[in-house]
Amino acid sequence: MNIFLDTANIEEIKKAKRWGVLRGLTTNPSIVAREGKEFLDLATELCELVSPFPVSLEVVDRTGEGMAEQARAISALARNVVVKLPTNPEGLAALNLLKGEGVKTNLTLIFSTSQAILAMSGGATYISPFIGRLEDRGYEGMGLVRDIMNIHSAYNFKTEVIAASIRDPHQVIEIAKTGAHIVTLPFAVLEKMLLNTMTDADLDKFLNDWEKVPGRENAFKGTRRLEKVGA
């Protein structure tokens, strides 16, 4: 399962890249608005920073024709751009208009299995079922992902499934069990997946004990090993 970051914050992206786990990026108009930057400048910076991995950027028109026009413009920004379209009648119309043009698409705001079926049948590159927002409304988000993956497997759809709207590390674990191709999550959740007080406590013990080891000052200089190799 690939890890995408759901953010437009440059510093968060740089940290995830440094850890070597980042395989893509998703954004939406709300996420972009938080950064207070010109959209085209920010979009270009994001694509360059995350390249060669995909970056999802969302259209904001309400008509299929308008969405398709915006999608073509956004897609021309960089080779790794993926255009987010809403999973509604106009979004599906835009998806149809873009067929054969080489525009990669992410059908977003999926809250039902039937929406997912139509988006996959329409040839979306990615689909994004929203787990957290669905569970906020009292429905089982994980069941939605399981159903989508079962149908995906049965009919061999080429679309990749991005589990989105993630609230905590436990959801990431449960999503991984479904076989979903991708999970996209806020940096705070990614950080929580990695940090553990038991790891910190045991590491402190190991490092404190290391202070008792004779010759520790020269332990990592490699001199003796090099002498053996050359002997």
Active site residues: 84
Cβ-Cβ contacts under 8 Å for 124 (sequence gap 6 or more): 85, 95, 105, 106, 107, 159
| Nearest-10 crossing angle of helices 169-178, 187-194 | 90
For residue 148, give both structure tokens: 């989508």
Alpha carbons 51 and 153: distance in angstroms, whole number: 29
The 10 Å Cβ neighbour count of residue 175 is 26
Alpha carbons 227 and 98: distance in angstroms, whole number: 64
Alpha carbons 64 and 86: distance in angstroms, whole number: 10
The amino acid that residue 225 corresponds to is R
Query: What is the DSSP secondary structure assignment for residue 218, as one 8-state letter?
Result: G
For residue 217, the Cα-to-chain-centroid distance in whole angstroms is 42
Query: What is the DSSP secondary structure assignment for residue 78, as one 8-state letter?
Result: -
Task: State the Cα angle at 42 between 40 and 44, rounded to 5°.
Answer: 65
